[in-house]
Structure 1
């Protein structure tokens, strides 16, 4: 039958985790707490970098933008996921699903570029410390940030062009908790081999390409650190990279497992768990990784808190 004569899908059903009601409520509480922690923690880092001039440096400029990306990624997925826990239909409109997928992959792709840029920033700081302020000036930082967004958009362009003409006219149940591209493509009433191939190539180039840039930067960083004569100097230099390495390991590990490995068999539940790590857990841990291991951020947080308490005390005493 001609696809034009079939009824077009107007909404999709997000099946989520498909557990018993009690388990779903438990997951709702857990995910809500994780979402709120991620939202508050990342927003706190953004505000600290904005208000404290001690944090007005390229490193913290990119940290704040990374936190912004984390907020947008989780906010693209989590509100609808949480709302569907108590929804009898668990439905999302066709346009809502399309927009969710576009924004998720746009900001997710941007994060990979920002992580690569942050590794370049650490390379310049450690390998060329005397020229750091010249190389990583404000204009360079802004251009690198804009390049990250442009690169993310271009990486999505090919798969999006091949996906846009597809017709959805049959099943509308997505075995996921958000509109991930792979399970959505499987519902199309057309040949999706070209779209899947373009998606795989774009993901491989994006992930492995940005990871290669990060790897090259850290190869030079390690070589430079090993040449530092004092143990204390080596530890101090390496400590500035630990937070970034931790985030890179978490984010790239789960993303490569999801989007670059060959698809063999039915591993939907495993993919869901990996997506939870990529979409919820890593953004939640980001503020703790960058604040608890960073003395300057902790000092800024203490100073800001003390100023707030002092201002509040003065306001109450004047009343």
Structure 2
């Protein structure tokens, strides 16, 4: 799409202006990104090459791992490269692409987590009807719906961003291109657009939160009648999923509050001029959550541990044979 703005590139201010901190963050985030790739690829390969793929919760988990890789790859490689760069710049088209893909894959991840919560709900609360409700076709349809549900609102936000006029300044006070830091640079009044962004993000956050809380409440009520052993097993499975959801979604609510304060004029009035905390919270859902997801889902899952061990033994044997 043709850029009709005066700005052809943006300058990202990044996480810190201190070189020592940037070098430390470079080493840390490089290790995190390698861990994200290895961990999630290991989960995907272990599931697809074993009997675990027959379990529908693992079908969701393999897609969650793929979404994690795609999601963090929209931001993390650029962040790592910028930490060693003298000047952190991104082209206008690159910025708009990053803005769209980050929200697209992020929304897909939220919807997949909701699908996994539904699977847990059916497993625990509707166990006799599980095979009728949760079929491979139904799960495939839920993954497809997650893709559509991620694309439509993200594309809407993308259209709002590209039709704004940017004439300067071109410094984005963040380490990646997001909606509300970009709105600050527009030359026109963005109050209404800010409210649309809040409605877009807030509606999805509210609906998914209500749905997730509903599932968890019914699950917790149901397991009260279980035996001690079965209750412990059910709660262990649920706690892993709840931990992943909290790690990923909680920081998003903080960012939503920041967006609301900006749209209401708090930033312009000087009440919220500089908030480095928003970048710290952003690290939770762009890097930390995708890194911990494989660990959280494998540490308490003996079947997953066994599948990974078999995969590792298979790779080791093949190396010895060669």
TM-score by length of 2: 0.92
2:74 matched to 1:47? no
User: What is the deviation of 1:285?
Assistant: 0.5
1:134 to 122, 132, 136: 132
Match of 1:148 in 2: 146
2:278 matched to 1:271? yes
Give unpaired runs (5+ residues) of structure 2: 267-271
User: What is the deviation of 1:134?
Assistant: 2.2
Cα RMSD of the aligned pairs, angstroms, is 1.6
Match of 2:72 in 1: 74
- Once the two structures are superposed, the pairs formed by residues 1-319 of structure 1 within 5 Å of their partners are 8-228=6-226, 230-260=227-257, 262-263=260-261, 264=266, 265-313=272-320, 315-316=321-322
Secondary structure of the residue aligned to 1:89 is coil
**Contact in 2 for aligned 1:251/1:278 (Cα 8 Å):** yes
Alpha-carbon distance between aligned partners in 1 of 2:47 and 2:182, rounded to the nearest angstrom: 38
Match of 1:3 in 2: none
**Contact in 2 for aligned 1:159/1:195 (Cα 8 Å):** no
Give unpaired runs (5+ residues) of structure 1: 1-5
User: What is the deviation of 1:251?
Assistant: 1.1
Q: Which moved more, 1:116-125 or 1:297-306?
A: 297-306
**Contact in 1 for aligned 2:202/2:256 (Cα 8 Å):** yes
Q: Which moved more, 1:267-276 or 1:253-262?
A: 253-262
Alpha-carbon distance between aligned partners in 2 of 1:61 and 1:139, rounded to the nearest angstrom: 11
Secondary structure of the residue aligned to 1:92 is strand
**Contact in 2 for aligned 1:251/1:282 (Cα 8 Å):** yes
Alpha-carbon distance between aligned partners in 2 of 1:15 and 1:162, rounded to the nearest angstrom: 23
**Contact in 1 for aligned 2:99/2:158 (Cα 8 Å):** no
User: What is the deviation of 1:296?
Assistant: 0.9
User: What is the deviation of 1:260?
Assistant: 4.0
Q: Spell out, residue by residue over 1:41-93, the C-alpha distance to the aligned partner (whole angstroms, 9 max, x if none).
A: 01111111111123431101111111111111111101111111222221110
TM-score by length of 1: 0.93
Alpha-carbon distance between aligned partners in 2 of 1:18 and 1:305, rounded to the nearest angstrom: 39
Q: Flag as ranges the 4+ runs of structure 1 deviating above 6 A.
A: none
**Contact in 1 for aligned 2:12/2:174 (Cα 8 Å):** yes
Q: Which moved more, 1:158-167 or 1:93-102?
A: 158-167
Q: Which moved more, 1:231-240 or 1:160-169?
A: 160-169
Q: Which moved more, 1:73-82 or 1:159-168?
A: 159-168
